Amino acid sequence: MKQHNYIQYLFFGVIAIFGLLTLYAINTAETPRIILFFGRFHPLLLHLPIGALIVAFFIDILGRIQKNYPVATVRNILGFTAFFAILTCFLGYFLSLEGGYESATLNLHLYTGILTAVLTSVLFWYSLKPTFNTKTSFLILFVVSLVSISVAGHYGSVLTHGDNFLTEYIKPLPEERTIEVVDSLRIYDDVVTKIFDQKCVQCHNTNKQKGALSLTSPEAILKGGESGNVFLAGNAEASLLYKQLLLPISHEDHMPPEGKAQLTKDEIWLLKHWIDEGLDFENYVTNSKENDTLSTLLEKYLVFNKIEIPKASRNVIETVKSSHFRILEMVPGESELTAKYLNKTPSKEEIEQLSLLSEQIIELDFHSSHITDEMITVIGELENLKMLRINSPEITDKALQNLQNLENLEVLNLYNTQISNDGLAKLLKSIQPKKIYAWQTNIDAQTAANLEAEFNVNIQHSIVDGFIKKSQLEAPVITPAGTLFTDTIHLNIKSRLKDVDIRYTLNGETPDSTSKVISNPIILENSKTLKIATFKKGWLPSEILTREYSKVANKITNFTVQQKPSPDYASAKKLFDLKEGTLSFKDGEWTGCFGYDLNTTIDIGSVKTIHNISFNALEDVGSWILYPTKFTVYASKTKGNFKKIGEINVSRTGEGGEPEMKKITLNISEAEARYFKIAIKNHDKLPKWHPAAGNPAWIFVDEIYVW
């Protein structure tokens, strides 16, 4: 009985506390932060009463059917449901005080939630009575509670995900209008709205308006939010939303917030262009021909007419295979097929079997097969053909006449044929494949260049990037991934391909087909530069993989930093733990500094001779992270009287792409010292080519060590 009383006291005590907090929030002009803090737990707890009520209903029905009703179990679960339903209502109200929600939908969600809390409390009260399980009214109340909690949940999903969240996939996708050229794009309807829908509308829609901002219509965009206009027509740099896109991702005002899908560099560029051009909501793209960047970026928003291709029957495919064709699905389970003739000398009858797959064949390859002009007739019937390879010296201009209706043809390989200048010119007047391979034909280089310019096609007139190019091997895999060690390191090097030679050097030379072959794990006892590549006859060697392995004689435990690194990332201790970071600046191994240099003083314990000092640096341009600009080292045998012993500039090129990292080493020519001051200089600001030019830059550093 005492335990039962304790539970009652706890139940009513918690409800009383949150009731008082609610009264406090109602009577306060500005909502206290502690109230908003509790509100953020609403999405976490709301699933508890939903799940518990469903479980209780299932046990209730099962008990009625089996004539073995678990009274205590149902009563306890209903008590749990009622408690968390009431608590969820309080937290939901606290969350609504943040604002940004459409009032009508919010009220429906709130009142149905309160109704659910009342109904489940009544159910619990009802379950305290004897023989409640035999009452029809109890079962009816149970069903009504389930309906109420379902309606409340629906309106909650509308607030969070939009009013079509539940029905989005019931309706068929609306047909997009076909847009095959850039100048047919409407800059707002076809480009800007797609960017907003993918990256912004989840928090800025008609039902949920963070910052009182909706981005679902021109009227809402021009209305702005609680901070006023977010776009200033003709001036992206002064537009609030554009400036928020460029803030560091860790900044509280950065949009979209950290953890949400971020806009790409290209999407930011397009939004800037749209704003600078005056927030055009009506017209088609303009000036695309004069702006190569605009034209290139808009190509991904083109919508081409999708061809629906029926699947071929297995019997038809087997019939074509019996004529010495290899038939494969381009994508498993899909209808598109690729066909390759496997014999040297086909017959016209065999080739005519392709007509059975006239809709399905997308790629057709007659490499090294002696086909003739007369055999080509049926190929003109392959209406969806995109790639054709007819490398036979018996093919002449006559064959091309049968290809003039292949409007979907993208790649045509005419290597080692008798095609002439006139034949190719006549073909290009009818169709324009994206790429044509024309070496070892009667087409001369000058004519190929002229036709390229006239018809805007790519004509390869020499053996580069063609079908006969050898495949390149992939680089081997090295484990472990780290490059620092204190005693010895065992390197296991393997390739995923069979029958390849993995050759390596440890003296800095480039490995070739005569270099030493790896047969066992490599054991390093000293610092070395490893270069490895894979080789195989008939294949191009892999790219050379280079790893600089460093033996660290002094693990640094005593150090100070002039200005602490950003608290959002790893502490300064991570600079010296010999655990190297990856290409992700969020992996917990990188130490970041935003807008300032990294300066540290280290103590290696006693005066020693040091040859090199190194550190790892990361670059991720899209996240405002650049390599440092300079690396300077000072040394001293005592705590004072430091002297500069070396300095190097850190080089970088281009405007960046994918994240990358590199080891930066300063050779200090046998310096004798115990204390070292290390200065790693940040950029004064992001360079002009960067989308956020003028803002502070990040540097991310990992593993400073002496060796």
- Domain of residue 232: give its range: 182-301
Instruction: Tell me what the mean pLDDT of segment 313-322 comes to.
Output: 92
Question: pLDDT by residue (tens digit) across 130-180?
Answer: 888 878 888 899 899 999 999 888 888 877 776 666 766 666 656 666 776
Cα angle for residues 554, 556, 561 (degrees, 5° grid): 145
pLDDT band of residue 690 (cuts 50, 70, 90) is: confident
pLDDT at 596: 93
Whether 166 contacts 114, CB under 8 Å:
no
Instruction: Tell me what the mean pLDDT of segment 318-342 comes to.
Output: 88
Residues 259 and 352 both lie in one domain: no
pLDDT band of residue 181 (cuts 50, 70, 90) is: confident
pLDDT at 7: 66
Whether 695 contacts 681, CB under 8 Å:
no
pLDDT at 115: 93
Residues 128 and 156 both lie in one domain: yes
Instruction: Tell me what the mean pLDDT of segment 489-499 comes to.
Output: 86
Identity of residue 17:
I
Question: pLDDT by residue (tens digit) across 253-302?
Answer: 888 887 677 888 888 888 998 998 888 888 888 766 666 678 778 878 87
Pick from 551, 569, 590: which residue ends a domain? 551
SS3 (DSSP) at 601: strand
pLDDT at 313: 92
| % pLDDT > 70, the chain | 93
Instruction: Tell me what the mean pLDDT of segment 490-511 comes to.
Output: 87
Nearest in space to 78 (alpha carbons), one of 125, 42, 110, 45 = 125
CATH code of residue 505: 2.60.40
pLDDT band of residue 599 (cuts 50, 70, 90) is: very high
Residues 156 and 13 both lie in one domain: yes
d(C-alpha 638, C-alpha 601), whole Å: 12
Residues 688 and 582 both lie in one domain: yes
pLDDT at 289: 62
Top-ranked range on mean pLDDT: pick from 3-7, 223-227, 516-520: 516-520
Q: For strands 630-636 and 698-706, give the pairing.
A: unpaired
pLDDT at 247: 81
For the ranges 62-66, 221-225, 315-319, which has the lowest average pLDDT?
Answer: 221-225
pLDDT at 462: 65
Residues 27 and 150 both lie in one domain: yes
Average pLDDT for the chain: 85
Residue in the block written with tokens 């290809």: 403
d(C-alpha 338, C-alpha 327), whole Å: 6
| Phi, psi (rounded to 5 degrees) for 633 | -130, 135
pLDDT at 467: 42
CATH code of residue 654: 2.60.120.260
Residues 588 and 696 both lie in one domain: yes
Note whether residue 340 is domain-resident. Answer: no
d(C-alpha 677, C-alpha 641), whole Å: 11
pLDDT band of residue 646 (cuts 50, 70, 90) is: very high
Note whether residue 177 is domain-resident. Answer: no
Note whether residue 174 is domain-resident. Answer: no
Note whether residue 216 is domain-resident. Answer: yes
pLDDT at 5: 59
pLDDT band of residue 217 (cuts 50, 70, 90) is: confident
Who contacts 577 (Cβ-Cβ below 8 Å, separation ≥6)? 703
pLDDT at 471: 65
> How many Cβ atoms are within 10 Å of 322's Cβ, its own excluded?
10
Residues 536 and 581 both lie in one domain: no
Nearest in space to 515 (alpha carbons), one of 489, 541, 539 = 541
Instruction: Give me the DSSP letters along 113-149.
Output: HHHHHHHHHHHHHHHTSTTGGG-HHHHHHHHHHHHHH
**Residue 191 reports pLDDT greater than 70:** yes
Note whether residue 41 is domain-resident. Answer: yes
Note whether residue 343 is domain-resident. Answer: no
**Residue 705 reports pLDDT greater than 80:** yes
Residues 392 and 500 both lie in one domain: no
- Looking at the 3D structure of the chain, how many domains does it have? 5
Nearest in space to 619 (alpha carbons), one of 581, 580, 658 = 658
pLDDT at 229: 85
Q: For residue 346, with 0-12 CB atoms within 10 Å meaning exposed, 13-18 middle and 19 or more buried, which class applies?
A: buried
pLDDT at 468: 43
pLDDT at 227: 79
Residues 509 and 568 both lie in one domain: no
Pick from 551, 571, 594: which residue ends a domain? 551
d(C-alpha 422, C-alpha 403), whole Å: 15
Note whether residue 170 is domain-resident. Answer: no
For the ranges 220-234, 390-404, 456-470, 550-564, which has the lowest average pLDDT?
Answer: 456-470
Note whether residue 243 is domain-resident. Answer: yes
pLDDT band of residue 704 (cuts 50, 70, 90) is: very high
Pick from 460, 491, 510: which residue ends a domain? 460
CATH code of residue 383: 3.80.10.10
Q: For residue 427, with 0-12 CB atoms within 10 Å meaning exposed, 13-18 middle and 19 or more buried, which class applies?
A: buried
Residues 145 and 283 both lie in one domain: no
Residues 151 and 14 both lie in one domain: yes
Question: pLDDT by residue (tens digit) across 15-70?
Answer: 888 888 888 888 877 778 888 888 888 888 888 999 999 999 999 999 889 888 99
User: In what helix (H) or strand (E) does residue 2 lie, and over which residues does it extend?
Assistant: helix 2-26
For the ranges 71-85, 202-216, 574-588, which has the lowest average pLDDT?
Answer: 202-216
In the DSSP assignment, the letter for residue 188 is I
d(C-alpha 544, C-alpha 525), whole Å: 23
Question: pLDDT by residue (tens digit) across 408-462?
Answer: 898 999 988 999 999 999 999 999 898 898 888 999 888 888 888 888 788 887 6
Residues 669 and 569 both lie in one domain: yes
**Residue 686 reports pLDDT greater than 50:** yes
